[in-house]
Structure 1
Amino acid sequence: MSSTSAAGLPAVLVRRQTLSGRLALAVFVFAVIGLVLMPWWAKPGTIRMIVELCCYIAVAQMWNMMAGYAGLVSVGQQAFVGTAGYALFVLAQTFGVNPFVAIFLSLLVPAVLAVPCYLLLHRLDGPYFAIGTWVVAEVFRLAASNLTFVNAGSGMSLGVMREYSAFERNVAMSLLCALMILVTIGGSYWFLRSRFGLALIAMRDNPVAAASQGVDVRRLRFMIYVASAIGCGLAGAVYFMAQLRINPPSAFDPMWSNIAIFIVMVGGIASIEGVLIGALIYFVAERWFGAYGASYFVVLGVMTVLVALYARGGIWGMISKRWDAPWFPIRRHLVQVTEAKP
């Protein structure tokens, strides 16, 4: 978009895309296509691992939108992962809804539950908000552990998936996986490039100053909280459909939030690039060192603390300081237009 201002001033062009962004967009499109075509090039075990990785990316990006932009640090995102997972199993197994339709219907549950949760928590600030989100998640876990409707602590199995062949399940999981990445990563990128994204970045930098310029901080934080709940719910529904079983300890496992925090802090908070880098680091580390149990988690925790103390921008922050080549550019640059002389 170009425009000429007052007389005597040169015309300018608002540049929003970069060469690195175009290349990254092409890679992203090919990656999504690769996810869709997984049944034709990947083994079932590989598909399960990729689905798991995509779920980590989705949950981490939703946490990143909350903490990195809206200033809402949560340690209870597992509340929405678990509720959507349980909703899927109840709809498909108890009420006979097609499981692939039930995935989308199950998202209504975290969307609806997020509203009273936010109204309860939004008056809290900082660590009090974080503790409040953990308490809410524990309430959900205790409720699921005592409700006979969902088999209490015994959990549920998705037996209706036996009606579909292994190839049909793999095709469905691949499509759902691609859709999840499009919604969480692509949706976040689209949102950050919109006028709401400008308001969100302004709110991240200084909420008081943003409010003084007309940004509705409360409304924007509410939108991000609900959107994050839906995104985490989608990841939970896809993950537990792949697992074919759910129970309260796994559905409401605090590790969901721990993983998201590690990925975002190590990769780089307030950046989509950081989420992708952090997710790959965590995924590889889990595959190589997960057998070490508690020692492995201690190392991850120490790494997160060190990054928070000495490299707050994470790995992507260090990269972007040296090379200005964003994969998902959201900034706007004014470039002077040189008009050809007659």
Structure 2
Amino acid sequence: MNRAVEVRHHLVSRQTNGGRLALSLAGAALLLMVSMPWWADAGLTRSVVEFSCYLALAAMWNLLAGYAGMVSIGQQAFLGVAAYGLFALAGHFDVDPFLAAGLCLVVPVLLAVPTYLLLRRLEGPYFAIGTWVIAEVCRLVISNTEWLGSSSGMTLRAMQQYSLEQRQMGVVWMAAIMLLLTVGGSYWLLRSRFGLALTAMRDNAVSATSQGVDVERLRFLVFLAAAIGTGLVGAVYYLSALRLSPNAGFDPNWIAIAIFIVMVGGIGTLEGPLLGAVVYFTADRLFSDYGVTYMIALGLLTLVVALYARGGLWSITGGRLGWHWFPTRWWLRSGR
């Protein structure tokens, strides 16, 4: 008697149907964003740029804390110094503002290297407090530097050479590039050979070291990348705002926003910051007029999520349903 033998092949793949759909939607969103100067008004363009800055800032903090295990509460230092680098290049050296937005990223690099060398032996809360001290030192130094406008700040007068339409076009295109480098760069990094090393380092640095991961080098590179990405957020945001002061550029609210977005959305995931950014941006638009009550509500929401859903909203929505918008692991699939 002949037996029918069913041969089942197993396929190893990193991409999923949900991932393909998410990438298609992300690409369409970027194309729509790039085309905004031809159909969107100034208010909508400003809102999209602001949302992009929040998302990029959260993505960088998530990479730093959620994967490299370095909890920083002083990332506003890199945001502020990059913004001041932009204003100084454009205001004092007559560099085109859009070109200066790229060149000013040298400044957070110059700050990040000695900062890491100074704080690299610190762990946990000591490292976090150290980063906050660095940010405060930067704020105080710039507040007392007359060349940078002291405490009154600076105005980006060089943008007057462009019309309103040209400014909107340049800023929204810079924001699109920022998203590609920060959010897209995080996705690419976690899918590269460094992604597994980062995950292992986050879970247990000692164990990762025993498996051959150069934890010290990888932490430095992630710290440097997060500093550059955060600096790019500062450049794009204040390129649009046209006005900068020490209290604004080094405002602790920047890191509070990043922590809220990542904690509520889901730390250590690529989908979490996107979900958290939507929640924060929507709440900010609807309830910011309530002032202190609004901030208390955001704080309580963060506390509730930290206590009862440590994986963030993504863990109780897409994560629980097995959705993978931006998969980074390998998946074993059966086929014929």
TM-score bracket, shorter-length normalisation: over 0.9
Which stretches in structure 2 are left out of the alignment for 5+ residues?
1-7
- Match among 275, 278, 281 for residue 280 of structure 1: 278
- Match among 76, 88, 91 for residue 90 of structure 1: 88
Counterpart residue number, 1:41:
39
Counterpart residue number, 2:103:
105
What secondary structure is seen at the aligned counterpart in 2 of 1:72?
coil
Give the Cα separation in 2 of the matches to 1:284 and 1:336. 41
1:66–1:228 contact (8 Å) kept in structure 2: yes
1:201 partnered with 2:236: no
Counterpart residue number, 2:132:
134
What's the offset of the Cα at 1:206?
Answer: 1.7
Task: State the superposition RMSD in angstroms.
Answer: 1.4
Counterpart residue number, 2:266:
268
Counterpart residue number, 1:300:
298
What secondary structure is seen at the aligned counterpart in 1 of 2:57?
helix
Q: Which amino acid aligns with 2:256?
A: N
What secondary structure is seen at the aligned counterpart in 1 of 2:317?
helix
Counterpart residue number, 1:238:
236
CA displacement, residues 34-79 of structure 1 (integer Å, 9 cap, x when unaligned): 1111111211011111111100001110000011001100111100
CA displacement, residues 213-232 of structure 1 (integer Å, 9 cap, x when unaligned): 10011111111111000000
What's the offset of the Cα at 1:87?
Answer: 0.2
Cα–Cα, structure 1 residues 325 and 295, in superposed 2: closer, same or farther, change >3 Å? same
What's the offset of the Cα at 1:302?
Answer: 1.1
Counterpart residue number, 2:55:
57
Aligned residue runs from structure 1 range 75-86, under 5 A: 75-86=73-84
What's the offset of the Cα at 1:179?
Answer: 0.4
Q: Which amino acid aligns with 2:47?
A: M
Identity of aligned residues (%): 56
What secondary structure is seen at the aligned counterpart in 1 of 2:332?
strand
Counterpart residue number, 1:186:
184
Give the Cα separation in 1 of the matches to 2:102 and 2:305. 37
Give the Cα separation in 1 of the matches to 2:77 and 2:253. 12
Q: Which amino acid aligns with 2:21?
A: L
What's the offset of the Cα at 1:321?
Answer: 4.2
Q: Which amino acid aligns with 2:277?
A: A
Give the Cα separation in 2 of the matches to 1:326 and 1:87. 39
1:289 partnered with 2:299: no
Cα–Cα, structure 1 residues 249 and 332, in superposed 2: closer, same or farther, change >3 Å? same
1:37–1:174 contact (8 Å) kept in structure 2: no
Give the Cα separation in 1 of the matches to 2:56 and 2:270. 11
Counterpart residue number, 2:246:
248
Give the Cα separation in 2 of the matches to 1:32 and 1:320. 23
For these two proteins, the number of residue pairs brought into alignment is: 330
What's the offset of the Cα at 1:334?
Answer: 3.1
Cα–Cα, structure 1 residues 159 and 321, in superposed 2: closer, same or farther, change >3 Å? closer
Q: Which amino acid aligns with 2:184?
A: G
Q: Which amino acid aligns with 1:20?
A: G
Give the Cα separation in 2 of the matches to 1:182 and 1:64. 16
Instruction: Please give the TM-score of this superposition, normalised by the length of structure 2.
Output: 0.96
Give the Cα separation in 1 of the matches to 2:133 and 2:217. 23
Give the Cα separation in 2 of the matches to 1:176 and 1:128. 35
Which stretches in structure 1 are left out of the alignment for 5+ residues?
1-9
Give the Cα separation in 2 of the matches to 1:334 and 1:208. 29
